[in-house]
Amino acid sequence: MAEGDLTGDGGPDSGRKVLEVDRLAKVYAASRSSGGGGGTEAIADLTFSAARGEFVALVGPSGCGKTTLLRCVAGLDRPSSGAVRLDGAVVRDVQPSLAVVFQEYTRSLFPWLTVRRNVEFGLHALPRRERSARVADSIEHVGLTEFADHYPWQLSGGMQQRVAIARAIASRPVTLLMDEPFASVDAQTRAQLESMVLDLWREFGWTVLLVTHDIDEAIFMADRVLVLSRRPSRVLRTVTVALDRPRDQVETRALPEFQQYRKEIFGLIGTAG
């Protein structure tokens, strides 16, 4: 393969695994309120990797450690053992090449700043002209140009989540982490946001790690779905989703193969121990 030649030394895949999670474990220390008993073992032993440009979804029962995992990947939290590597370097701190979109858009946006200022936040190191061009472009990519001078509280939930996505775009990430980003919006908005993110992913070539508890969403969006066990979580199964792209909300979901993936993953989660 042509890309293999560009990686130089190492094996054929060495330059392509942008993200590696290697035997990651996370135990939260016991709090006083828990009576000083043992801590919470959130993640037992998690290993997986994502290639550059790959869209990986993680599904698993509530409380199995998905948010904990994303926080470790983002450098917001430290694993108890094991490591996360981005482009071969161990993550110990927040990475500029990585952006995160959380479920709670109401908490991730500043209510006292306009859409434009929210998206601009964090770009202060850029020269002014470049900064405003990048902000305008990012807002346009999520279809909110007309609302650039509105405040978050003047927007619907779906629109607020678009602002959070615009902010991620503006930081020009290589890797995008999303933690149940569409869980708080209605079904129709959710479908629109899913399709929008797939379009953006194609355009920007991000490596994406999407956490969702919605199995259909995981299949619809991802190249691979990692099915996690109950806490302390492990990878139960990796399901490669070989559905054509671009994917369509109605046609893709109606395919017999889609139903087959659904059945397989529901079966796994139902029996997850």
Partner whose footprint covers residue 167, from Mg ion, ligand ADP, none (CB < 5 to 8 Å by kind): none
Q: Is residue 189 part of the contact set for Mg ion (CB under 5 A)?
A: no
Closer to ligand ADP by CB, 68 or 229: give it: 68
Closer to ligand ADP by CB, 64 or 84: give it: 64
Q: How far is the CB of 66 from ligand ADP (least distance, A)?
A: 3
Partner whose footprint covers residue 269, from ligand ADP, Mg ion, none (CB < 5 to 8 Å by kind): none
Q: How far is the CB of 44 from ligand ADP (least distance, A)?
A: 11
Partner whose footprint covers residue 68, from Mg ion, ligand ADP, none (CB < 5 to 8 Å by kind): ligand ADP
Stretch that binds Mg ion, among 60-68, 116-124, 162-170, 259-267 (CB under 5 A): 60-68
- Residues 40, 210: Cα–Cα separation, whole Å: 24
Partner whose footprint covers residue 40, from Mg ion, ligand ADP, none (CB < 5 to 8 Å by kind): ligand ADP
Q: How far is the CB of 63 from ligand ADP (least distance, A)?
A: 4
Partner whose footprint covers residue 240, from ligand ADP, Mg ion, none (CB < 5 to 8 Å by kind): none
Summarize as ranges the residues that interact with ligand ADP (CB under 6 A). Answer: 28, 40, 42, 62-68, 231
Q: How far is the CB of 31 from ligand ADP (least distance, A)?
A: 7
Q: Is residue 67 part of the contact set for Mg ion (CB under 5 A)?
A: yes
Partner whose footprint covers residue 50, from Mg ion, ligand ADP, none (CB < 5 to 8 Å by kind): none
**Alpha-carbon dihedral of residues 147, 150, 151, 152, nearest 10 degrees?**
-20
The site for Mg ion (CB under 5 A) is made up of 66-67
